[in-house]
Structure 1
Amino acid sequence: MDYILESLSDTPLVGFTVLLLVILTVPPVFEQLRLPGLVGLLVAGVVLGPDGLGFLDPGSEAMKLLSDIGKIYLMFVAGLEIDLMEFHKTRNRSLGFGLATFLVPLIFGTVVGQGFGFGLNASILIGSLLASHTLLGYPIVNRLGVTGNEAVTVTVGATIFTDTAALLVLAICISIHAGEFSATSLIIQLGALAIYAVVVLYGFAQAGKVYFRRTGNDEGNQFLFVLLAVFLASVGAQVINIDQIVGAFMAGLAVNGVVGRGPVQEKVIFVGSTLFIPFFFVGMGLLLSVSSFIETLTTGFWLTVAIVGALISSKFLAAWVAKLLYRYNWHETLSMWSLSLPQVAATLAATLAGVNAGLLTSDIFNAVIVLMLVTSVLGPIITSRAARHLTIPKTTIEVEEEVWGLRTDDSIGPPSEETQSALPFTVVVPVHNPHTERYLIEAGALLARHEAGVLIPLSIAKSHIHMDDPELENELQKSRRLLQKASTVSQELRTKAKPIVRIDDDIAHGICRAAREYHANLIVMGWAEMTGFRARLFGNVIDSVFWSTHCPVAVMRLLDEPMQIRRILVPVKNLTAQALRPVGFAQLLADTNQASITLLHVCDRQTTKDQILEFESELTTVLAATPFHVDITIQTTPEDNVAQGILKAARNHDLVILRSLRRRTAGGLAVSDVTTEVLSKVSGSVVLFGEPHHLA
Structure 2
Amino acid sequence: MIVVSIFETSLPLTDPVLKFLLILVIILFTPIILNKIKIPHLLGLIIAGAIVGPNGVNLIERDSGIILSGTAGLLYIMFLAGLEIDLVDFKKNSKKSIVFGLLTFSIPMTLGTICGIYILDFSTQTAVLLASMFASHTLIAYPLISKLGVAKNRAVNITVGGTMITDTLALLVLAVIVGMTTGEVNAQFWIRLSVSILIFGFIVLFLFPIIGRWFFKKFDDNVSQYIFVLVMVFLGAGLAELAGIEPIIGAFLTGLALNRLIPHISPLMNRIEFVGNAIFIPFFLIGVGMLIDFRVFFKDFETIKVAAIMIFIATLAKFIAAWCTQKIYGFSLDERRLIFGLSNAQAAATLAAVLVGYSIILGKTPSGEPIRLLNETILNGTILMILFTCTIASFVAQKGAQNIALSEHTDALPEETDHPERILIPISNMDTTDELINLGITIKSKSNKDGLYALSIVDNTKTNGSADKLAKTILSKAAIAAAATDTNLHELLR
TM range (shorter): 0.7 to 0.9
- Out of 468, 478, 483, the position equivalent to 1:483 is 468
TM-score between both structures, scaled by the size of structure 2: 0.73
Secondary structure at the counterpart of residue 158 of structure 1: helix
Query: Relative CO higher for 1 or 2, CA cutoff 8 Å, sep ≥ 6?
Result: 2
Q: Is 1:201–1:250's contact at 8 Å kept on the other side of the alignment?
A: yes
TM-score between both structures, scaled by the size of structure 1: 0.54
Does residue 230 (structure 1) correspond to residue 233 (structure 2)? The answer is yes
- Out of 481, 487, 491, the position equivalent to 1:541 is 481
Q: 1:652-691, aligned counterparts within 5 Å?
A: none
1:54 alignment partner AA: N
Q: Check 1:23–1:224 CA distance in 2 against 1; reply closer, same or farther (3 A cut).
A: same
Secondary structure at the counterpart of residue 6 of structure 1: coil
TM-superposition CA deviations, 1:603-644 (whole Å, max 9, x none):
xxxxxxxxxxxxxxxxxxxxxxxxxxxxxxxxxxxxxxxxxx
TM-superposition CA deviations, 1:241-270 (whole Å, max 9, x none):
433223222222222222131221221121
TM-superposition CA deviations, 1:34-77 (whole Å, max 9, x none):
1111221122212212233222111x332332223223323322
Q: Is 1:107–1:127's contact at 8 Å kept on the other side of the alignment?
A: no
User: Match for residue 254 of structure 2?
Assistant: 251
Q: Is 1:174–1:242's contact at 8 Å kept on the other side of the alignment?
A: no
Q: Is 1:288–1:366's contact at 8 Å kept on the other side of the alignment?
A: yes
User: Match for residue 130 of structure 2?
Assistant: 123
Q: Check 1:160–1:389 CA distance in 2 against 1; reply closer, same or farther (3 A cut).
A: closer
Q: Is 1:44–1:282's contact at 8 Å kept on the other side of the alignment?
A: yes
User: Match for residue 369 of structure 1?
Assistant: 387
Does residue 404 (structure 1) correspond to residue 423 (structure 2)? The answer is no
Q: Is 1:212–1:222's contact at 8 Å kept on the other side of the alignment?
A: yes
Q: Residues of 2 paired with 1:169 and 1:42: CA distance?
A: 27
CA-CA distance at 1:385 after TM superposition: 6.9
Secondary structure at the counterpart of residue 341 of structure 1: helix
Q: Check 1:294–1:169 CA distance in 2 against 1; reply closer, same or farther (3 A cut).
A: farther
CA-CA distance at 1:123 after TM superposition: 2.9
Q: Residues of 1 paired with 2:421 and 2:50: CA distance?
A: 56
Q: 1:533-682, aligned counterparts within 5 Å?
A: 540-543=480-483, 554-555=488-489
Q: Check 1:324–1:242 CA distance in 2 against 1; reply closer, same or farther (3 A cut).
A: closer
When the two chains are superposed, the root-mean-square deviation of aligned CA atoms in Å is: 4.4
Q: Is 1:136–1:376's contact at 8 Å kept on the other side of the alignment?
A: no
Q: 1:380-395, aligned counterparts within 5 Å?
A: 380-381=398-399
Secondary structure at the counterpart of residue 489 of structure 2: strand
Q: Check 1:456–1:372 CA distance in 2 against 1; reply closer, same or farther (3 A cut).
A: same
User: Match for residue 337 of structure 2?
Assistant: 338
Q: Check 1:325–1:282 CA distance in 2 against 1; reply closer, same or farther (3 A cut).
A: closer
Q: Residues of 2 paired with 1:394 and 1:23: CA distance?
A: 33
Q: Check 1:89–1:457 CA distance in 2 against 1; reply closer, same or farther (3 A cut).
A: farther
Q: Return 87-96 or 32-41, whichever deviates more.
A: 87-96
Q: Return 248-257 or 171-180, whichever deviates more.
A: 171-180
User: Match for residue 348 of structure 1?
Assistant: 347
Q: Is 2:345–2:390's contact at 8 Å kept on the other side of the alignment?
A: no
Q: Check 1:249–1:170 CA distance in 2 against 1; reply closer, same or farther (3 A cut).
A: farther
Q: Check 1:91–1:196 CA distance in 2 against 1; reply closer, same or farther (3 A cut).
A: closer
Unaligned 5+ runs, structure 1: 409-425, 431-452, 460-476, 485-499, 512-524, 526-539, 548-552, 563-696
Q: Check 1:160–1:101 CA distance in 2 against 1; reply closer, same or farther (3 A cut).
A: same
TM-superposition CA deviations, 1:163-214 (whole Å, max 9, x none):
1113312432343326534132133223212221221222212211221122
Q: Is 1:427–1:456's contact at 8 Å kept on the other side of the alignment?
A: yes
Q: Residues of 1 paired with 2:240 and 2:426: CA distance?
A: 52
- Out of 219, 223, 228, the position equivalent to 2:222 is 219
Q: Check 1:333–1:200 CA distance in 2 against 1; reply closer, same or farther (3 A cut).
A: same
User: Match for residue 103 of structure 1?
Assistant: 106
Secondary structure at the counterpart of residue 5 of structure 1: coil
Secondary structure at the counterpart of residue 125 of structure 1: helix
Q: Residues of 1 paired with 2:66 and 2:395: CA distance?
A: 29
CA-CA distance at 1:358 after TM superposition: 3.4
CA-CA distance at 1:281 after TM superposition: 1.4
Does residue 65 (structure 1) correspond to residue 68 (structure 2)? The answer is yes
- Out of 33, 36, 40, the position equivalent to 1:36 is 40
Does residue 13 (structure 1) correspond to residue 17 (structure 2)? The answer is yes
1:63 alignment partner AA: I
User: Match for residue 685 of structure 1?
Assistant: none
Q: Check 1:56–1:131 CA distance in 2 against 1; reply closer, same or farther (3 A cut).
A: closer
Secondary structure at the counterpart of residue 341 of structure 2: coil
Q: Is 1:223–1:264's contact at 8 Å kept on the other side of the alignment?
A: yes
Q: Is 1:230–1:248's contact at 8 Å kept on the other side of the alignment?
A: yes
User: Match for residue 172 of structure 2?
Assistant: 172
Q: Check 1:323–1:159 CA distance in 2 against 1; reply closer, same or farther (3 A cut).
A: closer
Does residue 54 (structure 1) correspond to residue 58 (structure 2)? The answer is yes
Secondary structure at the counterpart of residue 85 of structure 2: coil
Q: Check 1:503–1:371 CA distance in 2 against 1; reply closer, same or farther (3 A cut).
A: closer
1:265 alignment partner AA: M
- Out of 71, 75, 79, the position equivalent to 1:76 is 79
Q: Check 1:105–1:400 CA distance in 2 against 1; reply closer, same or farther (3 A cut).
A: farther
Q: Check 1:123–1:287 CA distance in 2 against 1; reply closer, same or farther (3 A cut).
A: closer
Q: Residues of 2 paired with 1:16 and 1:235: CA distance?
A: 27
Q: Residues of 2 paired with 1:227 and 1:243: CA distance?
A: 18
User: Match for residue 157 of structure 1?
Assistant: 157
Q: Residues of 2 paired with 1:103 and 1:260: CA distance?
A: 36
Q: Check 1:194–1:454 CA distance in 2 against 1; reply closer, same or farther (3 A cut).
A: closer
Secondary structure at the counterpart of residue 9 of structure 1: coil
Q: Check 1:314–1:322 CA distance in 2 against 1; reply closer, same or farther (3 A cut).
A: same
User: Match for residue 285 of structure 1?
Assistant: 289
1:70 alignment partner AA: G
CA-CA distance at 1:275 after TM superposition: 0.7
Q: Residues of 2 paired with 1:241 and 1:139: CA distance?
A: 30
CA-CA distance at 1:23 after TM superposition: 0.9
Q: Check 1:507–1:50 CA distance in 2 against 1; reply closer, same or farther (3 A cut).
A: same
Q: Is 1:315–1:340's contact at 8 Å kept on the other side of the alignment?
A: no
Higher-Rg member (1/2): 1
CA-CA distance at 1:14 after TM superposition: 2.0
1:483 alignment partner AA: D
Q: Residues of 1 paired with 2:407 and 2:226: CA distance?
A: 42
Unaligned 5+ runs, structure 2: 359-373, 430-452
Secondary structure at the counterpart of residue 404 of structure 1: coil
2:386 alignment partner AA: V
Q: Return 220-229 or 284-293, whichever deviates more.
A: 284-293
Percent of aligned positions that are identical = 23
